[in-house]
Amino acid sequence: MKSFNSGTLFLVLCIIIATYSQKVDAQSCRPSGNIWGRKPPPGQCNQENDSDCCIQGKSYTTYTCSPSVSSNTKATLTLNSFQKGGDGGGPSECDNQYHSDDTPVVALSTGWYSGGGRCHNNVIISANGQSVRAMVVDECDSTMGCDEDHDYQPPCRNNIVDASKAVWKALGVPEDNWGELDITWTDA
């Protein structure tokens, strides 16, 4: 039987550590589960900003995390109304208030919302050669959806910055292109 020398043992150990650390990094934000869509009762899913309504029997992925935040975090900007009666549903999580669509405010995916840790903090959103400062007022829930509390809309993906019309205007995006946009953002 041959014995391992310290060089071989060190090499094997390095390979194991490198393999494990790549798996941990790749799994840093994986789906946490899924929920099944329920058909909304008549008039219960507001599609004001082309919002999707849940589809009966469709599986929707849920997340408890979001990608790591950096000085240039990649995300998808979506359009949301934070006004009473808008497609955002109820009042904002941070202050239990509604906010004008003319004010630059956002909701962040669950992981970025950080249990309310970013409430009333400003973020800087960049796209289209422009930047805008917006205040975090809500969570774009990545863990739940398809129920009355979420206006019968699917859960948010884990990389969403859901923004008021004021944010879209400040970024100079033509109104007929509002809906989804690749952006970067960072804490202000």
Model pTM? 0.81
Q: Is the pLDDT of residue 25 over 80?
A: no
* pLDDT value at residue 23: 36
Q: Where do the H-state alpha helices sit in the chain? A: 6-26, 110-113, 165-170
Residue type, 132: V
Q: How far is CA 27 from the centre of its chain?
A: 17
Collect all residues with Cβ–Cβ distance below 8 Å to 11 and sequence separation of at least 6. none
On the question of pLDDT at 26 being above 60, the answer is no
Q: Binning pLDDT at 50, 70 and 90, where does residue 22 land?
A: very low
Coil vs helix vs strand at 70:
coil
Asked if 52 and 154 touch (Cβ cutoff 8 Å), the reply is: yes
With cut-offs at 50, 70 and 90, classify the pLDDT of residue 44.
confident
**Predicted confidence band of residue 153 (pLDDT cuts 50, 70, 90):** confident
Cβ atoms 35, 62 nearer than 8 A: yes
